[in-house]
Structures are given as structure tokens and as C-alpha cells.
Amino acid sequence: MHEGTITSQIVENVLREAQKRNAKRVLEVRIEIGKLMFLNPEQVRFWYEMLTKDTVLEGSKLVIEEKEGVVRCPECGYEGGFDYVDDPAFHTLTPTLNCPKCGGIVEIVGGRDCFIKRVKMLI
Amino acid sequence: MKIEDVVKAEEGEIFDIELDESLLKANAELAEQNRALLRKHGVTAVDVMGSIGAGKTSLIEKLVQKLKTRYRIAVFKGDLTTTIDAEKISRHGVKTVAINTGNECHLDANLVRKALSRLDLNGIDLLFIENVGNLICPADFPLGSEKRIVVVSVTEGPYMVVKHPFIFMDTDVAVINKIDLAEAMGVSVEKLREDVKKINPNAVTVATNCRTGEGVDQVIAALKL
């Protein structure tokens, strides 16, 4: 949904790092996207290509790792993936805040962020 | 001891730098600052999120009408552009700040911080923050509020809740609006209520008709106001 905004933040932050180090060229940028961010990797790539034109990032490789959503149950201590409601009327599995182990109410603890993990640059 | 053996980067060398920089952290930190500022002044802030045309503004108008004798209220009204809705709300005699995001599909903590600087926080107790009509992005950008309402309406069809589970996971109150049109739309309000319950057992669901004010008292009760 907000691929444009997030990607321009990525490009801006990497450019700042590159300038700090007087990099000639950025070769590779590795990012991690939480699946609960609803960012479509294909659209992120499209924006990346557009936004890096005529910068030291142009032509660099964008590596995207996707991270699953993680929940934690304060009741029983479960930590892991969501439970899903399998209702045939929905035609798809719908995630729920019910704990898959004990039925308590879980908190979302992972998969809601986007990180720039590493940047490879030519100095 | 002076170290003489220093490794320096040479021209043309490749550096692999670990950044581990979060892109949402900046917003989350600003949201915490907003929350602290609001708490300090004893202001309760309520987010109003929801789809386009679901009735967010109508709900706020009704809430303002019913609550303005008990609370000193201010409203932030987020929209891409125009002050149409902000003017509608301000006619009820409450301080209203229009936040125009330009091309952005959600409010963020920085815009809210700017808007907060336009208010006399000692002169209010209750703040409604109406987000841009959108059921996806606002979930990722906390603003610093205490409570959250999500508004959907029956005219959007029977699957509005299950198609956007994550915004409902974040909400305290889910409002299903335009219930007077449910029959004509062939949409079951009870089914929508069950959908919310399945996704977020903590949320209180209220069925409303914000044109007449039906159900608005239950929204106020659910917000514990």
C-alpha cells in the first residue's frame, strides 16, 4: 500500500550512509519486510528502480527478505505464527488474535516493521 | 600505546555495512512523545479510522454533539486535501484542525505532533483524530492516542471486516454504520459483528446509524467516556 513512501525512505537512508562514507557506488541493499506491513515486493522493486536513477544507488541489487508475523500469548507463553479461522465463506484463512494453543488473546510482537539490514558499497 | 598497524580502506574497496535500521521506529518514537505530551495535559486522544465514506466524520459529529457539554473537545481531521469535513465538524463549536496529507494515504505521528502545536492542550480534555479513509495503512502508523475506533458501513458489502483483519486487531471499538441500509444491501450486521469477534475478541462492536444518532451512546459507553 505505501510502497512508494517506504521505498523512498529506504533510498534516502542508504544515500545518507553512502554520502557519509564517500561511496562511489552502492552495489547491494538488503532489506527485511515484515509480512504485516503489506508491502508488495514487486512494487517495492519498481519504486526502487525509479527512485535510484541518477544516484550512486543506480543499478544496485535489492535483496528483499520477508518475515512472517509473530504473536505471543501472555496466558500460556506461546510464541509463533497466528491462528487462522477457516471459514469457507471467506474463501481464505483469516488470522485471529486467539492463541492457537490455549485460546487466550495474543499480542502481535513481530512482522510489523521494515529494516534496512545491510548495504554493500564501493568506496 | 600508539597503534601503528592501521588498516585503511583503499580506493575501490567494497564495504559491507550492517545497518539494521528500522523504518517505522522514527514514527513509533514520535507517537510515544505525542502520547506523553497528551498524558501530561490530561487529554484523552481517540483515533477514528475506517474506510472511505463509512461515516467517520458523521460519527465524530454525533459524538461531539453528545459530549461537548461534558468535555472540552478538539478534533484533528485528516484528508488528502480540502477542509470540507473539518468545516462540518467545526460548526459544532469545537476547535478543529484540518491535516492535509497531500499524497499520503494515512496520518503519521509527525503530522499529529505539528497539529498538537496548534492547540492549547490545557484548554481541552478530549481529542478525536480522524485518519484518512483507509483500512490498511493507518494500522502501521501509531499516532499516540489512547483508544482506537474503526468504522465500516454495510454499504461496503459483507466482507469488509475479514478482508482487513489487521486494522481490527488494533482497535478497541468497531463501529458498523448505516445499519438502516442493511436490509436493502442484503448485509447481515450480526455476521459482521461475529467477524470482528473472531479476529479480535477484545474489541467492542457497536451497530450505528450516524445520521439519526442510533447507537452513538453505546460507542460513548464502549470508549468509557
The pLDDT tens digits of the residues spanning A15-55 come to 999 999 999 999 999 999 998 887 889 999 999 999 999 99
Whether B137 contacts A1, CB under 8 Å: yes
Closest CB from B14, B137, B162 relative to A94: B162
Residue B214 to residues A71, B63, B162, B175, B190: CA-CA distances in angstroms? 36, 11, 25, 12, 16
Determine contact: A90 vs chain B, CB below 8 A. Answer: yes
Chain B residues with beta carbon closer than 8 angstroms to that of A24: 12
Task: Give the model's pLDDT for residue B212.
Answer: 96
Q: Is A30 helix (H, G, I), strand (E, B) or coil?
A: strand
CATH number, domain B25-222: 3.40.50.300
Chain A residues with beta carbon closer than 8 angstroms to that of B132: none
The residue type at A60: S
Task: Give the model's pLDDT for residue A89.
Answer: 62
Place B13 in a pLDDT band, splitting at 50, 70 and 90. Answer: confident
Q: From CA A28, how far away is CA B106, in angstroms rounded?
A: 30
Instruction: Give all domains of chain A, ordered by start, each with its CATH number.
Output: 3-69+111-122 (3.30.2320.50), 70-108 (no CATH)
Closest CB from A108, A115, A121 relative to B169: A108
Place A92 in a pLDDT band, splitting at 50, 70 and 90. Answer: low
Nearest CA in chain A to B203: A97
Note the pLDDT tens digit of each residue in B104-162.
778 889 999 999 999 999 999 999 999 988 887 777 788 999 999 999 999 999 988 98
Size of interface A-B (CB pairs under 8 A): 102
User: Cα dihedral angle (B106, B112, B114, B120), rounded to 10 degrees?
Assistant: 150
Short-list A15, A47, A19, CA closest to A33: A47
Chain B residues with beta carbon closer than 8 angstroms to that of A2: 104-106, 137, 140
Short-list B72, B157, B171, B185, CA closest to B122: B72
Q: From CA A25, how far away is CA A23, in angstroms rounded?
A: 5
Per the CB < 8 Å rule, is A116 touching B202? no
Interface mutation vs chain A, best among B11, B17, B18, most A CBs within 10 Å:
B17
Determine contact: A96 vs chain B, CB below 8 A. Answer: yes
Q: From CA B137, how far away is CA A5, in angstroms rounded?
A: 11
pLDDT at B213 over 70: yes
Compute how many other C-beta atoms are within 10 angstroms of the C-beta atom of residue A61: 11
What length does chain A have?
Answer: 123
Q: Calculate how close chain B gets to A82, using CA atoms only, in Å.
A: 11
Whether A26 contacts A121, CB under 8 Å: yes
Determine contact: A27 vs chain B, CB below 8 A. Answer: yes
Give the mean model confidence (pLDDT) for residues A80-106.
Answer: 80
The grid coordinates listed for A13 are 537512508
The residue type at B73: I
Task: Give the model's pLDDT for residue A29.
Answer: 96
